[in-house]
Amino acid sequence: MLLPIGMFLAFAFMMVSNIMEGGDPMALFAIPSIVLVFGGTLAASATAFTFGEVMRMPKMAIKGFAKPAQLDGTISKLCELAEVARKEGALALESKISEVDDPFLQHGLTLLVDGADEHRIQDEMDAALAATTDRHMRNISIWTKAAGYAPIFGLMGTTMGLISMLGHLDQPDEIGHSLAIAMTATLYGLVSSNVLFTPIADKLTRLHESEVLTKEMMIDGVCSILHGFSSRAMTERLEIWLLPAARGKSEKAA
């Protein structure tokens, strides 16, 4: 939940600073600048991606509010499955697959139940992980591109505003107002890049890294089940993926 809180505080500090300087917050609101910066940024970003990828941007933004995966819960589940396989055999896991929420782990367990060897399990799960990584990187790169384009469109808006202002130098009373409106485009470009697009891209990157770590641990766990690891041995093996301070908790939870 730190992403929305951070965004809110950034906007709040910006407004408070503006008020402390004697400014009017409503003076920062300019519809033409909003249309140019946000519309132009999204249009330019879309040129390098497919329509479907662009339409997923709202979904990706919402996903940015999610928490990273918790590894200790995954370890507990793998230890439970290892104990079932060790006591009742690998085929007994077939009835447990429906209880697993993660499709990636379901795929690995299905391969295990079907009698696949370690090489095949490793190859197929690695391929699925690579496909997930490619998809995530493309989703993240949309936001990264937008963060780069936004300041440029802000500068373009300011330049266009200055051109319009210079065309009306015969109206000196309007120069100050026109210049202020022109500068709002640069402001929107900087704010959208540094408070909206870049934080979302960074959070999605963090979520991706957490998911990849979890899936790599799942691959290790499925292969360990194949080798007949006990619940205790599984815990000791998989806890190396955790921070030192978090080790030992998953065994207690199991």
For residue range 137-171, what is the model confidence (pLDDT) as tens digits? Answer: 999 999 999 999 999 999 999 998 888 888 777 77
Q: How far apart are CA 78 and CA 230, in angstroms?
A: 10
Is the pLDDT at 254 greater than 50, yes or no?
Answer: no
For residue range 70-90, what is the model confidence (pLDDT) as tens digits? Answer: 787 888 888 888 888 888 888
pTM for the structure as a whole: 0.82
